[in-house]
Amino acid sequence: MHTSPASVNEGTPSKRRAGRLRGRLAVAVAATAIGAAAVAAPAGAAVIPPDASANYSYQTLNNDNDTTFNQLLGINDAGVIAGYFGSGQAGHPNKGYELLPNYFQGDYRNENFPRSEQTQVTGLNNNGITVGFWVDKHGNNNGFYAVRRHQFHTVNFPTDDNAAPQVDQLLGVNDNDVAVGFYTDKKGVNHGYSYSILRQKFHSIKVPGDTNLTAAAINDLGDVAGFATNSAGSTEAFLVRSDGKLFRLSFPGATATQALGVNNGDEVVGQYTVGTGNSAMTHGFVWAPGLGFHNVDDPKGVGATTINGVNDRGDLVGFYTDSAGNTDGLLATPKG
């Protein structure tokens, strides 16, 4: 096992500059009000990030095999989406899929680990690699990657300190075929890691001063996004670049912030929570260096939206809870 403070596969300077430009342009489409919001804030007051929800067009995408529960978790540059249906409750097992562009019912392609009780497909790249986790009959979670939905391989971090039942999940993968995820130890603490599919090597991912870390996404430059518990006991998002630069991300006024996706422009997406207990509300966000946070809510799920993935075009995928209590998959495309 190899340990590193951040990630792997640092891009060349020219590739990094090009990637950041693509991401910033994508965010700028959704940031038309940022200047006005910043100017209007009175001296000494906290700046409330602008709401960019109106700058996207939304589609609800649900697999008809279970329209009560769908989550879309990743999208590649061709518009192929990774996700699953089924809440995991009795009679509604998690069943993974890829959704091909056009997004008709006939474009869903089932993807489930052989002989698994449940499967979630959580991420994908542009090379035909998908990642996720599968659940066995004992309730153990096992990470996996698959090559074009046919060649499945289990990936579990090498440790004797697993929770019981085991929790090990891969959540994202880049075009260098490096995946990221986490495992849970016997004390219930999460530990982030990356896994090189080509080299079959693991690297621990850590953020100084933070614990309980989940590595959720990685771009082609080796920049990793995720979330962890900071020294104050709060859940904060982070982006740790392959050159070691760290961004700690907490949406202003939020009780918790989680980063769940990142593209090659370091455009980070995720969710933040306002309030606690029964009054808590969840909103989606986008963030990028120099542009800051922007709120993004599906109009059918304001206060109950999660943004889970982003591609280099700035297309967003995630899910929301509707007025009937169903969990619906969402695709948000920047207008213009």
Q: Write the pLDDT tens digit of every residue in 259-312.
A: 999 999 999 999 999 999 999 999 999 999 999 999 999 999 999 999 999 999
CA distance 311 to 31: 17
Give 322-331 pLDDT, tens digit per residue. Answer: 999 999 999 9
How do residues 133-164 score in pLDDT, each as one tens digit? 999 999 999 999 999 988 999 999 999 999 99
Q: Return the residue matching tokens 């996720």.
A: 132
Question: Can you read off the two tokens belonging to residue 233?
Answer: 């006991």
Q: What is the pLDDT of residues 220-237, one digit of tens each?
A: 999 999 999 999 999 999
Q: Do 121 and 86 touch, CB atoms closer than 8 A?
A: no
pLDDT in tens, 95-119: 999 999 999 999 999 999 999 999 9
CA–CA separation, 4 and 13 (whole Å): 21
Residue 29 predicted with pLDDT over 70: no
For residue 83, the cross-strand partners are 72, 97
**What pLDDT is attached to residue 50?**
97
Amino acid type, 162? N
Beta pairing, strands 2-3 & 201-205: parallel
User: What does the block give as tokens for 33?
Assistant: 């009000």
CB 52, CB 335: distance < 8 Å: no
> Tens of pLDDT along 185-197?
999 999 999 999 9
Output the pTM of the full model.
0.89
CB 65 within 8 A of CB 105: no
Q: Which helix (H) or strand (E) holds 247?
A: strand 246-249
The answer to whether the CB of 245 falls within 8 A of the CB of 202 is no
pLDDT at position 12, please?
39
The answer to whether the Cα torsion of 205, 259, 239, 25 is positive or negative is: positive
Position 89 scores a pLDDT of 95
Q: What is the pLDDT of residue 329?
A: 98
What is the distance of C-alpha 260 from the center of its chain?
A: 3
Does 244 have pLDDT greater than 80?
Answer: yes
CB within 8 Å of 8: residues ≥ 6 apart: 178, 194, 196, 203, 222, 242
- Asked if 226 and 238 count as a contact pair (C-beta separation under 8 A), the reply is yes
pLDDT for 45: 52
Whole-number pLDDT of residue 324: 97
Q: What percent of the chain has pLDDT over 90?
A: 84
pLDDT given for residue 25 in this prediction? 43
Confidence (pLDDT) at 27: 46
- Report the C-alpha gap between 188 and 229 in whole angstroms: 13
> Could you read off the pLDDT of 35-88 as tens digits, one per residue?
333 333 344 455 789 999 999 999 999 999 999 999 999 999 999 999 999 999
Q: Read out DSSP for 295-320?
A: EE--TTSTTBEEEEEE-TT--EEEEE
Give the pLDDT mean for 195-205: 98
Helix-, strand-, coil-residue percentages of the chain, each rounded to 5: 10, 45, 45
Q: Where are the domains of the chain?
A: 2-334
The number of C-alpha atoms within 13 Å of 105 and in the hemisphere containing its C-beta is: 5
pLDDT at 103: 98
CATH class of the domain whose range is 2-334 = mainly beta
pLDDT value for 142:
98
